[in-house]
Amino acid sequence: MNKLFLIIQREYFSRVKKKSFLLMTILGPILLAGVMIVPIWLGLRDKTDHQILVLDRSGLFVDKIPNTEKLKFTYSSESLKNAKANLKGGPYDLILELHYDLINNLKSTPNLYYRKQPGLPTEQYIVNNVENILFDYRLQGDSIDRTKIDNARRPVKLLLNMVTEEGKDKATNTELNMAVGFGCAIAIYMMIFLYGAQVMRGVIEEKSNRIVEVIVSSVKPFQLMLGKIIGVALVGLTQFILWIVLTLAINITVTSVLLKDQLKDVSKQNAQYELIHKNDILAHTDKMEKIQTPQDVVEWINYANTLNIPLILGCFAFYFLVGYLLYAALFAAVGSAVDSEADTQQFMIPITVPMIFGFAIAQGVMTNPNSGIAQFFSIFPLTSPIVMMVRLPFDVPLWELALSMTMLIVGFLFFTWLAGKIYRTGILMYGKKASWKELGKWLFYKA
């Protein structure tokens, strides 16, 4: 046992002291935070004040498109040629031309001229308002009361409520459940292959340098393999915890300090949009995408509070660690069977296919989390780290969760035993390319 501890200690400290570990520990959170922050920053970045010249040939739209803090509309009857000539140096940077036949000709469309393309929110704002004005005009022409239509076609929002065993209602959100489950599954997939590959490369390196010949003279091959797997697992766990802490710190700092004023501006802008679309029959078609409003954020937070966060985090840690241990044993076996990383390809397919297949199954699991296929593959050890994490936010029965965990532990013990039999022979095998037939023979060699 003391020898196993020494191997784990060696594997752990030899990796955490490397510059590459420190570099990835720092760069990882920056990249992860960037993935979350950059889209928000890009959405907030368009602060350009647009002066828009409206050439309304019909007279229907004059003074009817509301101005905002960033968009100012001025109406004129001058020719398009003169307006375009003044586009470069004049006070206007956008020209909106509304043809006369726009009122009655359904195929007629507005034209927007520019030298620097505006952002998508600006385009959507113009389109939505033109649609509203035309809609009101056509209703009035047919003596139809707009209010009655609005009341008759109000959008319906479906609220999901799960009835618990205690008879209580619990609000749920399918989109949030899908995002949480799939996000956890992707993280587990990446971490298993990232650190499992480290185990394989470590075995190949020690084997090619003949270091392993010295090591196995003092410890059993199985102890060496297990120590290497656990040591790298602790490295991965350390780095993962640091990534979470640093990523959250960066996100909180950037959003609360650097983007604070921009988020306030977005809230005001969305408030204006709400007023404009308050009675809009087309609003529910999402023709105009808004940046998430504070109310939207509050709703998502409320839904997130209904999730069993401790259970999800606990299961995530379990499926990551045990799933990694299972696959790392297989990676170690592959590393022991070859002399270079280039020779690993033929043995990698049986390892990668189950995980990829798990993702393929996960697509259907998100639409029907309680189907027979979802239940089976969330219990099957080679796919359960992916499929069960996708199902978990949808309130999996505890007996299925317990069975899945038990089967994963049994699978880990079986595949570790299986990999150990390959490892003990392959680790000292040089100069001969192993085949599947050769690996089969190694399984039956006596120690």
Chain centroid offset of residue 288 CA: 24
> Which residues make beta-bridge pairs with 162?
170
Place 380 in a pLDDT band, splitting at 50, 70 and 90: very high
Poorest-confidence range of 36-50, 178-192, 423-437?
36-50
Q: Which of 4-13, 102-111, 194-203, 382-391 has the highest mean pLDDT?
A: 382-391
Question: Which is more confidently placed, 97 or 250?
Answer: 97
Out of 4-13, 228-237, 267-276, which region has the weakest mean confidence (pLDDT)? 267-276
Half-sphere exposure of 94 (CA within 13 A, CB side): 22
**Could you report the per-residue pLDDT of 390-407, keeping only the tens digit for each?**
888 877 888 999 999 999
Q: Is this model's pTM higher than 0.85 or not?
A: no
Q: Please indicate whether residue 367 or residue 75 has the higher confidence score (pLDDT).
A: 75
50-144 classified as CATH 3.40.50.300: no
Query: What is the pLDDT averaged over residues 173-200?
Result: 82
Closest of 302, 239, 286, 263 to residue 37, by C-alpha: 263
**In terms of DSSP bridges, do strands 160-163 and 71-76 run parallel, antiparallel, or are they unpaired?**
unpaired
Average pLDDT, the chain: 77
Structure tokens at 241: 């915890």
Is 228:212 a contact under the CB 8 Å cutoff?
no
Rounded CA gap, 172 and 259, in Å? Answer: 30
The stretch 12-25 carries a mean pLDDT of 84
Q: CB count, 10 Å around CB of 419?
A: 26
Residue predicted with more confidence, 223 or 213 = 223
Cα torsion 367, 373, 375, 379 to 10°: value is -130
The pLDDT value recorded for residue 384 is 92
pLDDT reported for residue 292: 43
Indicate the domain borders of the chain: 50-144, 197-257+293-447
Q: Which of 165-174, 184-193, 276-285 has the highest mean pLDDT?
A: 184-193
- Among 156-165, 222-231, 357-366, 378-387, the minimum mean pLDDT is found in 156-165
Residues 290-323: tens digit of each pLDDT: 444 444 444 555 555 566 778 888 888 899 889 9
With a pLDDT cut of 90, the percent of the chain lying above it is: 8
